[in-house]
Amino acid sequence: MIIRKVKEVPAEPVMEIGAEKVRRQILLSPSEGAPHFTLRRFEIAPSGQTMYHQHNYEHEIYILSGVGKACGKDSELAVFPNDAILILPDEEHQIVNTGNTPLVFLCLIPNQ
């Protein structure tokens, strides 16, 4: 069993084009021995956003705190703490902070 303290995991800025005011922590990954999934924590500052993108794998998001919206090709849905989001393979998506406090969420992706 491995336990990592979130406060001890370095947060790195997300530098992809279109991402603004986003920091990412890799909590659990193959580096820690996770064979199938990587667990990441994101923090988006007020008025920030992830890049609008898509990829060939599903991922799951769990909103911890803050408010925002999940944007897709044909929709924008408000998100709140304790919301869980499923993003299907090849689905275009973006997460935007619409509040005055950080939007914090966990994101689970398969290891490639």
Return the amino acid letter for 63.
I
DSSP assignment string, 26-47: EEESGGGT-SSEEEEEEEEEEE
Contact 78, 36 (CB under 8 A): no
Model confidence pLDDT, tens digit, residues 63-111: 999 999 999 999 999 999 999 999 999 999 999 999 999 999 999 999 9
- List the structure tokens of 17: 């084009």
pTM, full prediction = 0.95
Q: How far apart are CA 63 and CA 83, in angstroms?
A: 5
pLDDT in tens, 6-65: 999 999 999 999 999 999 999 999 999 999 999 999 999 999 999 999 999 999 999 999
